[in-house]
Chain A
Amino acid sequence: MTRIHVPFMTRLVTWLRLFAVQGSWNYEILLGNGIGFCAEPALRLLPGGRGGDKYRRALARQSRYFNAHPYLAAVAVGALTRAELEEVDPAKIERFRTALAGPLGSVGDRLVWSGWLPLCSLLALGAYGVGGSAGLVVALFLIVYNVGHVALRAWGLKVGFSQGTEVAKSLSTPLLRRSPEWIDRAGALLAGIAVPTAVERAVGIGGEVSAVAIGAVLIGGVVLARIPNTSVGWRLALGILSIIVLYAVLA
């Protein structure tokens, strides 16, 4: 079977649509509509074209229930579209789709929500700690964080498009499996630098923000994190600390 070439413009449009992959998120089919929306431009390449029987069936299949991390959904869109273009057996596509969703969600949660996002936040906090202005702190966070996720979407789509149902091989590389751990370590190092320097700077601003208040928030956060065995305490403490820092930056 000849491999259908996906033109650059179609890839570009798919990548742009990925930024809206969560646009119709709901508890019934979660990311399902989003996956269908993103896969749609490339599905027009199927024999029969837009509105053709194969196009309609593939689009309906890809718009069903799907759950994954929104950034790594790029891998799913690429791989599922490739599988559809190769006219893989629909039953196998269904199973592939199911098997792909969870692991992408898991990798995404570890890599982004509990890795990249806190790391970028700590980087910004550190920048504040060493004397950065409000504009610099905000710009640093927005630029670094966004470069990461824009690149992740582009990489995911490329890998998915080129590997199709073989995509697991690219995703099980030590680089991707180990990187959450490396990001965690970098985060711990940054936390060590950022928290004390940021607290010192925040405390130093007038008498409005007292060391006692910040200390109480941090201790309270640790206690909360210990008691219910969840991350709620940490989130609350970091949230309150961020507000204090934000106040100090603007004051």
Chain B
Amino acid sequence: MLHRIDDRLIHGQVVVGWGRPLGVGFIALVDDTVAASDWEQELYRMGVPPEMTLYFADVATAEREHPKWESDSRPGIVLTPDIGTMARLAASVPVTEVNLGGIHHAPGRTQRLQYVFLTPEEEQALRDLAERGVKIFAQDVPGGKPVELGDLL
């Protein structure tokens, strides 16, 4: 199961880029705001092909459901929109690897890669995650070159 941080959530790189080669059967979208918003869920559902299951969860629900996702025989992706959400999830469930798939330009962020822009606080949050033993790597698509956190910051 791939744990990915991507502020675009469901999009082509996730559904086609990772979904096809990995044969992804489900995507768990973990976001407190989206989990409480029907119209946003309706939009995200549109981006997922009929053969893929899409779960919506806030962090509390994700903590409960995580073991079930982990034991699912199908390959899956756990997707969060930001580092903070992934860090909260990783604090209570076992996460061994985190893929930085896209954190885009916003005021206060510095460019680290073409698809990764970080504020100093976000960089610290990533270092904290790594210190807890989580392997962090940036890679937008499976064909792209993975960049380790040490080379990123």
Which residues of A are at the interface with B, using a C-beta cutoff of 8 A? 27-30, 65, 67, 69, 95-96, 98-110, 113-114, 165, 168-169, 171-172, 176-178, 180-181, 228-232
Q: How far is the CA of A14 from the CA of B12 in the complex (A)?
A: 25
Q: Which residues of A contact B42 (CB under 8 A)?
A: 168-169, 172
CB distance from A78 to the nearest CB of B (A): 15
- Choose, from B43-51, B62-70, B88-96, the stretch at the interface: B43-51
Q: Which residues of B contact A105 (CB under 8 A)?
A: 8, 11-13, 47
Q: Which residues of A contact B106 (CB under 8 A)?
A: 65
Residue of B nearest to A107 (CB): B47
Q: Which residues of A contact B33 (CB under 8 A)?
A: 95
Q: How far is the CA of A168 from the CA of B38 in the complex (A)?
A: 11
Nearest 5 A-B pairs (CB), nearest first? A103-B47, A109-B12, A106-B47, A102-B11, A105-B11
Assuming the contacts A99-B43, A109-B16, asked whether A178 and B50 have C-beta atoms less than 8 A apart, the reply is yes
Q: Is the Cβ of B44 less than 8 Å from the Cβ of A177?
A: no
- Give the residue of B7, B15, B142 whose beta carbon is less than 8 angstroms from that of A106: B15
- Give the residue of A65, A98, A165, A232 whose beta carbon is less than 8 angstroms from that of B143: A232
Residue of B nearest to A69 (CB): B12
- 29 CB contacts below 8 A, A to B, read A28-B104, A28-B105, A28-B117, A29-B104, A29-B105, A65-B105, A67-B104, A69-B12, A95-B40, A99-B40, A101-B11, A102-B10, A102-B11, A103-B43, A105-B11, A106-B12, A106-B15, A107-B46, A110-B49, A165-B39, A168-B39, A168-B46, A172-B45, A177-B49, A177-B50, A181-B49, A228-B143, A229-B142, A231-B21
